[in-house]
Amino acid sequence: MLSTLVKQLDVIAHSQWYWLSSIATGFSFLVLALVYQYNFEYDPCVMCIQIRLWVALWILASIIGLLTLRYDILNKIAHLAVVLVAIGLVERSYQLLGTERGFVFGDCGFDLGLPAWFAIDEWLPSVFRIETSCGYTPELLFGITMAEALMLFSVVLLLLSFCISLVSLLRARY
């Protein structure tokens, strides 16, 4: 049974559908965030924007993964990049959830903490500009807040991408 699971993960790791679904999911997350921002008027805080940046990196790594399917080493690097992005998403989601629930106390101002040469908030202010301070996230469905959903999703992404990346690194392509 384990060998069947490993073989299936290997097939997924080398599939264009894995990368396409990863890109589509990332874009869906950004669109959902923008819908909540502009249609429901939930302004983003610094952690929300940092999560958007991690999602943008996830999309970029997935595009690279899709474009490098035939180049084993580069594709493995893309898989590892997705794992690193997932780690970043878990960390930011935990901080956001902790701020919302009150078990994490920190400074949540209006500075993204990025270097001056990477002023993404000035280049794309409609997507990456901080509008409010941290404190709460909107409710999505069934009483689940956006912070709770992000925490759950980012952990699932980390586990899935780690397993797929591990199989990709340890197994040769057939």
Closest CA to 138 of 124, 150, 126: 150
Answer whether residue 173 shows pLDDT above 50. no
1-28 pLDDT, tens digit each: 667 888 888 888 889 999 999 999 999 9
pLDDT of residue 111: 79
22-64 pLDDT, tens digit each: 999 999 999 999 999 999 999 999 999 999 999 999 999 999 9
pLDDT of residue 25: 97
Cβ atoms within 10 Å of 105's Cβ, excluding its own: 8
pLDDT of residue 1: 66
pLDDT of residue 61: 97
Domain 2-170 grouped into CATH 2.60.120.10: no
> Mean per-residue pLDDT for 133-160?
92
pLDDT of residue 81: 97
Query: Is 65 in contact with 22 (CB distance < 8 Å)?
Result: yes
Taking the model in full, what pTM does it have?
Answer: 0.91
Question: Domains of the chain: which residue ranges?
Answer: 2-170
pLDDT of residue 2: 64
Q: Which residue has the tokens 């299936």?
A: 8
Query: Is 157 in contact with 149 (CB distance < 8 Å)?
Result: no
